[in-house]
Structure 1
Amino acid sequence: MDIKRSLLLLCSSFGGFLFGQEKAVDTVYIFDSQMKKVKLFHPVRTITPKDIEKNSTNLSELLRFQSSIYIKENGRGAVSSPSFRGTTAQQTAFVWNGININSSFLGQGDVNNIPLFGYDQIDIKAGGGSVVYGSGAIGGSIHLNNILDFNSGFKASVYSEAASFDTYNNFAQAAFSNEKLSVKVSGSYITSQNDYKVPEFVVGNTGFHNTNGRYYNTSVNIGVAYKIADHQTISWQNQTFDASQHYPIFELNGNKTKYKAQTLRSLIAWDINKNNLSNSLKMAYTEDNFQYFADLNQPKASGADGKNYIFKNDFNYFITPKININAIGEFQVNKGKGYGSGLETVSRNVGSLSGLIRYFATKDLRFEAGIKKDFVEDISSPLLYSFSGKWNAVKWYHVGINFSKNFRYPSFNDLYWQPGGNLDLVPETSVNIDMNHEFSFGDFKIALSPYYMDIKNLINWLPTSLGYWAPFNTYRVESYGLESQVTWNKTFGKHALRLDGGYTYSKSVNKDTDLQRMYVPMHKAVGNIEYGYSLFKVYAQGMFNGLTYTTSDEKRSAAIDPYFILNAGISASLFKKYTLGFKVNNLTDTYYQTVSLYPMPKRNYSVYATINF
């Protein structure tokens, strides 16, 4: 059996693998070339553009209702950060088309300053992934992916939504492709006065009114791919984003502030895809700039500009039809400049080398082992490793195991903020292990994933005797729990029914105190049910969030009480080109918070329309 035939057999057995299936390579170009390989060994939840329409307020809302991640949002549309499997926001990696985009200043992604629209799919991967995706991929990673196809001609769509609190979401996209060229352009504009009221949350003598809560953002995405030869493609992906957030005030005469952010991400890639060999060379430039205004009517009070130059090469080769090797090299130059803040001009070089080997013992049994060494200027970085195995034991039961060491190196703020920056910090490290049990009974599927993490050298900002805060490597964290997912899809005639539910148990404790960490609910459950008949679709979406401590001593009086939120919607498709829809968010008019003292909106509504060309 020759290599090409073996690869095609592997593709058929595993649902399409790597670059062996020539037809797939000829018709679809995926910017994150590692994601196909990741899905061979790890469960990955994929959110499609149609799923995004159900939670179109912002990326925080989408992740809150359609993933196991706990999202801490300082009021709707404001500062927002993720907690994945009981970890910190800095221990979740945001990856844009294969490039880690966590802030060099904070070491994390601000969820509401990342565009919601403009991606072809959003993938959510639980568990450690530093060997492939770098610093911060400890609890999990969120992947914002774009795809270009060939030979599809012209297609376009427009989405427009009007919602409560003077909220308007608009998104337009157009694409053209032939045998050689593929082009996709999209843009979004989102604005909201965001002036919702919550009578139950008393401020002074009245209920809460989200005064000065306005926000808006715009984004533009451009993707181009061109085949320069039968097995070679050059491509460009570019994203610009501009946003403004006004921070709510809690007193009538309170000082009105705002925050502005601009990001630019540009990626050029040269890809070679042959039967048993592939190589992806990427060059990227990213900018993360922000400005804080202590008074709306005054010039900016502080801010910073960040620039990153990234070079990455991903080489993949089948030595034999059963043995695959993968070498990844990356080099970055990170630059930052602050003004009116605790940062001056800073710069650092970051490099890494990683190697992976995959062994396909049979069509039902496969293994992957990886090793990585990072070279971070002025930081001693540990040797990272990973091991994964997947066994399709019988037709209805698949089992996998993953073991890895991961890390996060200190951010610019951790090291250089003045006063307080600590040049003696060492990276946070973790040892992760999880198992994945997948059961399939016809259209009904169950996935159970117990996990365990041991995190050391956690970086915490603490008050000092000199009157300022400073970061230190502090306590050890032990995090363990269970993620579960149930899905059922059934089509009969003109009827279609889809059920999708998940439950997560997260125990994350400070090993010095054995107490649950702040903003880590032990219980979270999400569920979606969608029914379609002919031209019509209806759906209901629920989320339960358990008791959430907001202090390190598990103070019950300061904790966020459990809550359940229910959303619902209905839509109709006309002439295969037009869709009209209506949504009700927080149908039960529930009072809830995700961050203490920042209430979220009660019942609210939206109407939307989609036109496909």
Structure 2
Amino acid sequence: MHQVSAQESLIDTVFIDNQFSKVSKTAKISNLNTDKILENSTSLSDLLRFQSNVYIKENGRGATSSPSFRGTTASQTAFVWNGININSIFLGQGDINNMNPLSYENVGIKFGGGSVIYGSGAIGGSIHLNNRLDYNKGFGGTIFTEYGSFETNNSLVKGKFSNENFSFNVNINHSQSKNDFEVPEKKFINRNGEYQNTSFNLGLGYKINPNNEFYWQSQHYDSDQHYPIFSENQTKTKYLVQTFRSLAGWKLHSGKFKNNLKLAYLEDNFQYFGDINKSKTSGGTGKQYIIKNDFDFLVSKNSTFNLITEYQYNEAEGFGSGIKTPKRNLGSFSLLYRNSQSEKFYWELGAKQDFVEGYKSPFLFSASAKYLVNSWYQSSINISRNFKAPTFNDLYWEPGGNRDLVPETSYQAEMSHYFSYHNFKLGITPYYIKMTDMIQWVPVTPAIWSPKNVKKVDFYGLETELSFNKNWNNHKVDAKISYSHTRSVDLETKKQLSYVPFHQINFNSSYQYKTIGLFFQALYNSKRYVDDSEINYLENYFVLNAGISFSPTKHLQLGFKINNLTDEVYQTVNYYFMPKRNYAVNLNLNF
């Protein structure tokens, strides 16, 4: 979905992240709503793999999984929950298989840098996990259940109520799988691959009057991931995660200004078991206390100043890693000016200064503009400087932590072109990212590794999207094909970084006729090198999914899906094969 249609989908939707609709005016954004989420409900990995240009590196189905935007790594991706950056303070990234897509009404995908607004890690792009509070909608609810191959279950129960002043939303979802598939051609059995996770989400909102709203969003998540082993004699391992997130806010609108104050508490607990029958091998607890204020002042009819201030206090306790009890204070000031001189032209400027205890932070900036040339063509441009801060692991791991690290910094430029003709829309976006001081763990002695600012990397490429949408009589057709060409070049070796496909193609289409619906998903990835030598690589692959749905009543839908229809043998990470052809049936009841 390109910029224009992304904006249209946000008009009637108010997210707790009030910046999300603003950045969509110039940035390239894809929005995946509830219907799209239910097409790939198994995991956030599946959702992003088949419905975006983000490359997903999954260490076996359901195991540790990370995204790659425009050739960058998971460390250069920001995960944003309702406007709050939730990247791990230990690793500086997120495991997308520990974020259940059924917990959210919308998953937003923003391409390109965004550190001025979303902070550390927003270099290649950001993934936005959005919840929503509606008003004046009455009672509503959803029951969704899916059963698939390998004893896979995905279930969701959601209830909501709202009147003019009050909004309530509760969501409980559970996923589990024995995950014991085989790939006979490669003599591969996914031993010890089982997983399960449960999430409880609660949202409350109350409007004292039209200009004052209080809200609260919370999430508790618990998961158990077993890591695949390659022979029956290997020791079985597992990874447990418990996450708690709580966000309280106050929105105030008075005359020429709007203010959104957020107070957040984030807690992440993890335990790694090198032997599932013994005590934990390592683990940690990370806590973040956050105060964030977003102040908008209307200078004139067409221009606003936006001041974003944030303070964080981070503390952690490690186990089995040498990390003891590190603490850190962080603060930032962002100032943005937005101007819409006419219906055809919009531009904005942004600047940010971070203050991070223990090291010097870079000055950041952003500039973007959009110009509507005529009824069938518009163009936008984005320029920014972004960064990724060293994490607790980088700084304090013993032995090897390096307290002299400086943040990774990058300069980014992109220019998008959007064309529309009748029911067709075409988007073309070339981009360039120049990164310096990339943090990499390198050997100091044969037994000790340490992180250092060593790499300089250029990322550049081209992304294109062509979509078709048409409704007539009882027919509805939606189709989109996306292509991306990606280069990710280490400036020292002049070679492509590992696990970056040169070419990627995504195709999604759906057809609805009265009570019958069909959808198709296709994904092609070219070869990917598995190390920096450009010698060993994974073969290209093509995967096709297809599904059919039937709605016997207005509120009930039955579905059947075939994943990997062509029975392709493929890997996203070396050694870990993905499932061959598999099936799922589902029931979706709305009331």
TM-score bracket relative to the smaller structure: over 0.9
Question: SS of the residue aligned with 1:425?
Answer: coil
Q: Which residue of 1 aligns with 2:123?
A: 138
Deviation per residue, 1:559-611 (Å, 9 max, x gap): 01100000000001121011000000000000000000010100000000011
Give the drift of 1:17.
Answer: 13
The equivalences for 1:379-418 within 5 A come to 379-418=359-398
Q: Which amino acid aligns with 1:167?
A: T
The equivalences for 1:72-471 within 5 A come to 72-201=57-186, 207-274=187-254, 276-465=256-445, 467-471=447-451
Q: 1:40 aligns with which of 3, 16, 25?
A: 25
Deviation per residue, 1:415-465 (Å, 9 max, x gap): 000001000100000000000100011211000110000000000011112
Deviation per residue, 1:35-78 (Å, 9 max, x gap): 11111111210001110111111101110111111110000000
Is contact 1:479-1:507 (8 Å) kept?
Answer: yes
Distance 2:545 2:133 in 1: 33
Is contact 1:505-1:523 (8 Å) kept?
Answer: yes
Structure 2 gap segments, 5+ residues each: none
Is contact 2:518-2:547 (8 Å) kept?
Answer: yes
Q: Which amino acid aligns with 1:601?
A: P
Distance 1:211 1:78 in 2: 12
Determine what percentage of the aligned residue pairs are the same residue: 49
Is contact 1:333-1:347 (8 Å) kept?
Answer: yes
Q: Which residue of 2 aligns with 1:586?
A: 564
Judged with a 3 Å threshold, the aligned counterparts in structure 2 of structure 1 residues 457 and 248 are, in CA distance, closer, same or farther, namely same
Q: Which amino acid aligns with 1:364?
A: K
Distance 2:124 2:237 in 1: 33
Q: Which amino acid aligns with 1:584?
A: I
Distance 1:469 1:369 in 2: 41
Is contact 1:131-1:354 (8 Å) kept?
Answer: yes
Match status 1:546 vs 2:529? no
Give the drift of 1:15.
Answer: 6.5
Match status 1:607 vs 2:585? yes
Question: SS of the residue aligned with 2:75?
Answer: helix
Q: Which residue of 2 aligns with 1:3?
A: none
Is contact 1:17-1:36 (8 Å) kept?
Answer: no
Give the drift of 1:230.
Answer: 2.2
Match status 1:472 vs 2:476? no
Question: SS of the residue aligned with 1:217?
Answer: strand
Distance 1:598 1:17 in 2: 37
Match status 1:570 vs 2:555? no
Is contact 2:7-2:24 (8 Å) kept?
Answer: no
Give the drift of 1:317.
Answer: 1.2
Is contact 2:330-2:356 (8 Å) kept?
Answer: yes
Deviation per residue, 1:127-154 (Å, 9 max, x gap): 0100000000000001011111111000
Distance 2:472 2:22 in 1: 34
Distance 2:9 2:147 in 1: 42
Question: SS of the residue aligned with 1:551?
Answer: coil
Give the drift of 1:284.
Answer: 0.1
Deviation per residue, 1:92-112 (Å, 9 max, x gap): 000000000000000001111
Give the drift of 1:298.
Answer: 1.3
Give the drift of 1:180.
Answer: 0.7
Distance 2:118 2:25 in 1: 16
More deviation, 581-590/274-283: 274-283
Distance 1:245 1:261 in 2: 8
Q: Which residue of 1 aligns with 2:46?
A: 61
Q: Which amino acid aligns with 1:116?
A: P
TM-score by length of 1: 0.94
Distance 2:403 2:286 in 1: 20
Judged with a 3 Å threshold, the aligned counterparts in structure 2 of structure 1 residues 466 and 541 are, in CA distance, closer, same or farther, namely closer
Distance 2:544 2:305 in 1: 47
Q: Which residue of 2 aligns with 1:9?
A: none
Distance 2:174 2:104 in 1: 15
Instruction: Count residues in correspondence.
Output: 587
Is contact 1:28-1:150 (8 Å) kept?
Answer: no
Judged with a 3 Å threshold, the aligned counterparts in structure 2 of structure 1 residues 15 and 529 are, in CA distance, closer, same or farther, namely closer
Distance 1:108 1:230 in 2: 38
Deviation per residue, 1:395-428 (Å, 9 max, x gap): 1001000000000010000000000100010000
Distance 1:144 1:15 in 2: 17
Structure 1 gap segments, 5+ residues each: 1-11, 19-23, 202-206
TM-score by length of 2: 0.98
Q: Which amino acid aligns with 1:154?
A: F
Is contact 2:101-2:107 (8 Å) kept?
Answer: no
Q: Which amino acid aligns with 2:135?
A: F
The equivalences for 1:3-42 within 5 A come to 29-42=14-27
Q: Which amino acid aligns with 1:347?
A: K
Question: SS of the residue aligned with 1:62?
Answer: helix
Question: SS of the residue aligned with 1:147?
Answer: coil
Any runs of at least 4 consecutive aligned residues in structure 1 with deviations exceeding 6 A, and if so which?
A: 14-18
Is contact 1:225-1:234 (8 Å) kept?
Answer: yes
Distance 1:270 1:322 in 2: 25
Q: Which amino acid aligns with 1:404?
A: S
Is contact 2:7-2:25 (8 Å) kept?
Answer: no
Q: Which residue of 2 aligns with 1:595?
A: 573
More deviation, 27-36/247-256: 27-36
Distance 1:384 1:367 in 2: 18
Q: Which amino acid aligns with 1:383?
A: F
Distance 1:489 1:560 in 2: 35
Is contact 2:71-2:487 (8 Å) kept?
Answer: yes
Give the drift of 1:342.
Answer: 2.6
More deviation, 164-173/37-46: 37-46
Distance 1:78 1:230 in 2: 46
Judged with a 3 Å threshold, the aligned counterparts in structure 2 of structure 1 residues 210 and 302 are, in CA distance, closer, same or farther, namely same
The CA RMSD over aligned residues, in Å, is 1.5
Give the drift of 1:28.
Answer: 5.7
More deviation, 365-374/270-279: 270-279
Q: Which amino acid aligns with 2:554?
A: K
Give the drift of 1:256.
Answer: 0.7
Deviation per residue, 1:213-250 (Å, 9 max, x gap): 10000001100000012200000000110000011111
Give the drift of 1:252.
Answer: 1.3
Is contact 2:134-2:162 (8 Å) kept?
Answer: yes
Is contact 2:7-2:21 (8 Å) kept?
Answer: no
Distance 2:278 2:57 in 1: 29
